[in-house]
Structure formats: C-alpha cells, structure tokens
Amino acid sequence: AQKITQTQPGMFVQEKEAVTLDCTYDTSDPSYGLFWYKQPSSGEMIFLIYQGSYDQQNATEGRYSLNFQKARKSANLVISASQLGDSAMYFCAMREDNQGGKLIFGQGTELSVKP
Amino acid sequence: DGGITQSPKYLFRKEGQNVTLSCEQNLNHDAMYWYRQDPGQGLRLIYYSQIVNDFQKGDIAEGYSVSREKKESFPLTVTSAQKNPTAFYLCASSKYTQGYSNQPQHFGDGTRLSIL
C-alpha cells in the first residue's frame, strides 16, 4: 500500500493566486514527520517546510503553509501569492521515527504558474 | 559554503561496466542517503548510512553497492547486475538523532546516468 499519496499529477494556478497541493499519508507510528520539497527542472531538491506529528500548530514558512489534519492523515501544502518561479515538481515525504531517518516520497505534483 | 557535492553531473555506462557516483558533504552530517528517481516519479531509497562503516539497504538495493569509510563521503557503485540503471541519482544527508527529529534531508544536485 502507498504510504504517501499525491493525487494531483499536475496543477495550474494563475500568478498571484493561492494553490493547495494535496498529500495523504499512512502510518501506524505515533511519531513521524512530514516534509515538502520543491524540485525545479534543474533537478535539485529544495526543502520547503516541515510538520511534526506532535506539533499543535500548522507549520508556516513565508509563502508556504501546511494544512495538517492528523485525524484525516493529510498534510496539504498551501502556496500563497504564486509566482512564476514556483513552477516545479512538488514532493510530499514522510519520516517515521522508528525507521532510522528514512524518507518515503510521494509521486509528486507538477505545478505550473500562468502569467 | 556548506553543502553536498555530487559528481559527475552526467555519466554514461557501457554494458557490463560498473560505475561509481561520488557524493561528498561538508555539513558534518552523520546520516547519508542515496535515492533513484525515474522520469515523472518520486524518489526511491537505494542505501542509507547513519554512521561511518555502517550502512543499510533501502527499498531498491539490488544491483547497487556503497561504502562509508569517511563521514564526509558516501559513494554509490552501480554494478553490471543493475539491468536498468538509466535514472537520476540523488544523494542526501541529514543530522541524525534517535527518535523525534525535525531535521530535513539536504540534497546534492544529482547525477544523470545513461546506458551507451
């Protein structure tokens, strides 16, 4: 069974609008972390934001925020005020704390920002 | 500046040949990881190492080998037993602590491997 599911292979958003990228996860470990990475066409992986399973508040980092709904096992990334430079692949990943620091990645969502 | 350096950026392999991808980090991180990415796909873990002279298989270790003789270095060898090696290979590192940790993995720029 998929541990990380990103159901949107591709998304379009108008410049300056907000967009939500979906991520659901599956784990029985009570202690885990969720990460979002951005991968531009050049290939490097850029860390965006982190949410721990015990964190009481949703994480925010500049224009990025994470809509964490623990009971529903979802960790959606919200990008506010989209910019042309936000066009990239976005990956959701999970680390289960009893698994030695390994990350499990979703299949990714390709975001295209239109001018 | 601290970071992770992968070399070469592009690599071509002939049939039956072993090739080695280099990964060096100067972040003083304990843990290092190798991932494979196929076109349009997510990353899959090949091998990882939490400490020098120790490493564990990931989900797709067959046809690959690694070593961790120094904290800074974690080279990956793609052996001739790996029948479909064409992919993008990413190396990562992170601080490692037991249990709860918010340390992200930091990635190199990757190596694109192709079959001649």
Q: Closest partner residue to A45 among B31, B90, B102, by Cβ? A: B90
A10: which 2 tokens? Answer: 């591709």
Q: If DSSP codes are grouped into helix, strand and coil, which group holds residue B78?
A: strand
pLDDT at B106: 93
| B55 pLDDT higher than 70 | yes
Handedness of CA B69, B55, B9, B83 (dihedral sign): positive
Q: What is the mean pLDDT of residues A26-45?
A: 94
User: Distance, in angstroms, between A52 CA and closest chain B CA?
Assistant: 7
Contact between chains at A44 and B110 (C-beta distance less than 8 A): yes
- As a whole number, the mean pLDDT across chain A is 94
| B100 pLDDT higher than 60 | no
* Alpha-carbon gap, residue B82 to A60, rounded angstroms: 41
| A100 pLDDT higher than 80 | no
| B71 pLDDT higher than 60 | yes
In the numeric block, the tokens 């721990």 are attached to A52
Among residues of chain A, what percentage have pLDDT more than 70? 98
- CB within 8 A of B11, min separation 6: which ones? B19, B21, B111, B112, B113, B114
Is the backbone peptide bond immediately before B75 cis, with ω within 30 degrees of 0? no
Confidence of residue B115 (pLDDT cuts 50, 70, 90): confident
Q: Closest partner residue to A101 among B94, B107, B109, by Cβ? A: B94
